[in-house]
Each structure stands twice: as C-alpha cells, then as structure tokens.
Amino acid sequence: MELVDDVKARLATTRESGWDNLFSDVQDFCVAKGIPVPNMDDEIPVRGRSRVEGRTVTNLHHYRAKIFYVAIDKICVEMDHRFSEESNIILNCFSCLDPKNSFSKFNVDKLARLADIYRVDFSDDDRGTIRDQLETYVLQVRRNASFSTCEDVQSLAMKMVQTEKHLVFPLVYKLIELALILPVSTSSVERAFSAMKIIKCKLRNKINDVWFNDLMVCYTEREIFKSLNDIDIIRTFTAKKSRK
C-alpha cells in the first residue's frame, strides 16, 4: 500500500509541476522528427458551443488544462476507484499473512477483522474462535523451520497443505484461500462488466433485463457452457411437457 500512496503522490506532483518538463521533452521530439511546434501563446477557438460565441483560448491553456490536467485527473480518479479506502483496509489486512521475515507483519487484530468483513464465509462460532486459532498458528509456524522458506502467500498455502496445517488451522487456511482467490475474482468481475458494456452498446440498450442476465451468465460461466452437449440440451427440452 505504501507503493500505491507513492504513486498517488507522484501523480499529484506531476500535475502541479510536471508540465514544463513534459513540454520540453515534446519539443525535443518534434524538432528531432521535423514536426512543427505550435506557439503556446497563440489563441485558438474554443471547441463546442463557446466556439459559436467566438471565445478563444491560448494553446498553453488548451494543451495544459484541457489535455494534460484532464489526463492526470482521470488516472487519479481510476486509482482512487481501484484502491478505495475499503479496498486499502482489506489489502492491508491480507498483507498480514505475508510469511517473510518470520511472519513479521502478522497481526491478529487485522486478520480477525477479515472474518467480520467476510461474514458469509465465517459463521458466528468461527468469528468467536478465530483469534485463538491465529495466535496458536503464528507460534507454530514461527517455530517450524520448514515455513522459513516461504516467500509469499502461494508458497505458504502449499506448505500448509504439505504439513497438514490446513487441517489443524482451517480458519487461518480459509483466510489464505481468500487472499489467493479474491484478486482473480475481482478481475473476473471487471472483465464481465467490460463485456456487459460491449453488449449494451452493440444492442443499443434495447435488450431487456431477463435476456441481458442470461447473456451475462453465458459469458461469465462460458467454460461450463462449452462443456455442455447440445444433444443433451435438446433432449431435455424435448422431454418437457408443453406449456402454455
């Protein structure tokens, strides 16, 4: 998360004082390629309705305010969307599973909080006992030399299975599973929403909700649909009684 914060800080610095360096690089590139560089003090018509009214702005305002600032602002908005406060909290909690340096980042409070966040995956009894399980777990893995070779959560999960610790500490292993599954699930959801936008655009928003939902199921579960046998589907529908 420190890296994310650093990227956001650099974007803010670039927006504040990065125009001159960027424009200098662009000028050098244009000179090298024989491309004419516009005079930043020249005025150009404003696009849109204001153009009809005869309003003008300088090239400097157009390229810096309308393009440079807007591009950086869009990146910042996307960063804030991708790494929201809630996402930062979750990522910070999952980082406590990092096995490096003898589990130096391990934090019982933060990991127990994940059980509260993902209540669907943890029962009331699980949330009541997970702290004790976490405290015992970290004592054992720090003493066990075989866990000292773990460099990331993936290798930690494999070592848990090899040593059968996933049976001894099932709740801790469930947290590890969530840490491995969630990034993939998030990417799948994002791809599904991208496909949804394509479908809606191509059909010009004339599609009804039921049909749209059916198409989305076919897309997100396409691997399952590929394995279905067309003949079996036909036989299933043929065997059904006619319905009015």
Question: pLDDT tens digit string along 42-58?
Answer: 998 887 655 556 688 99
For the segment 102-128, the average pLDDT, to the nearest whole number, is: 93
Please say if the pLDDT value at position 204 is more than 50.
no
Q: Are 167 and 191 in contact (CB under 8 A)?
A: no
The residues with which 57 forms a beta bridge, in sequence order, are 44
Share of the chain above pLDDT 70, in %: 82
Domain ranges in the chain are 2-83, 97-182, 185-239
Determine the pLDDT at residue 53. Answer: 64
d(CA 51, CA 53): 5
CB 103 within 8 A of CB 141: yes
CA distance readout (Å), 102 to 113, 147, 149, 175: 22, 8, 9, 18
- How far is it, in rounded angstroms, from Cα 6 to Cα 159? 33
Count the helix, strand and coil residues of the chain and give each as a percent rounded to the nearest 5. 75, 0, 20
pTM for the full predicted model: 0.57
